[in-house]
Amino acid sequence: MFSLLQLQTILDTLPDPAFIITRSGQYTHIFGGTDKRYYNRGYNLIGCNLNDVLAAEKAKWFAQLIATVLSTGQMTIVEYQLLKSDVKGLEDGPEEPLWFEARIQPLSFPVNGEDAVLWVASNITVRHQLEQRLQHLSEIDELSHLYNRRKLRDQLTRQFNLFHRHHTPCSILVFDLDYFKQLNDSCGHLIGDKVIEAVGRVCLQTVRDEDVPARYGGDEFAILMPQTNRQQAWSVADRLRRKIQRVLLEMDLPQNCSSISGGISEFLPEDGKIEALLERADRGLYMAKNLGRNRICSKY
């Protein structure tokens, strides 16, 4: 058996910090946190309340989580971030948010006459940043720097559900580059890649923050426009068309290879799947080509 002193020593050498926090939000004991790469020893928190340490909203969130764990009697694992502004009196803290994984376990005995939890916090900032980076790479088209087809489909599904649940309008522009195969054949694939890059750059500079610009495949692109009806989407799309044409003409491309043709569509109440939206946008695209290209059309 370990002596109390030995147990205290073992707890104090834990790499991650472990806090005992009462239902009222008081820090009564702190153990561990010896990994100096990620933590400052927090013994100065003992005797403080959550409201003394954290900004009001963050302290409220901690307190609600503790109350939930105590009411269920079950351990909870949760990830959360701490900003510099979340911690009171932290003038020289990190500018980037820190991410933690908390394991919160209800204690079977009272502490200072109150129910209490053991809150073990592990700094997962590096892991979180890597996960975010990997997610970004899995969603972004390498050449155009726009979202890829999979991300677009995910967002289409999300907006489709919002439309049918809350009647929130949503439109899409589908477009491709006029005579792109001819451009590749006459000027080479390196020039074709530069054109794809340029179109992606114009899209990122032109679309709104809430829009989802994507490279759908090859020289096909799509702009998903939430909270936007078909007439509003046409204005955004035609502005984009004119900007792309101006940029491509500045690249000294053949004039007939310096424009786009596109189709516009919006979700309709009778749509049973997202493919209905895409099919209508494709019909608008084919209409634009049949009418001489370098234009945006919509068709039902």
Q: Residue 195: what residue type?
A: V
Tokens of 265: 């569509």
* Per-residue pLDDT tens digits for 31-73: 998 888 888 877 889 999 999 999 999 999 999 999 999 999 9
Tokens of 34: 């010896």
Tokens of 129: 């940043």
Which residue is listed with tokens 């050449």?
Answer: 143
Q: Give the pTM.
A: 0.68
Q: Give the whole-angstrom CA distance, residue 51 versus residue 43.
A: 17
In the chain, what are the domains? 4-131 (3.30.450.20), 140-298 (3.30.70.270)
* Per-residue pLDDT tens digits for 174-216: 999 999 999 988 889 899 999 999 999 999 999 999 999 999 8
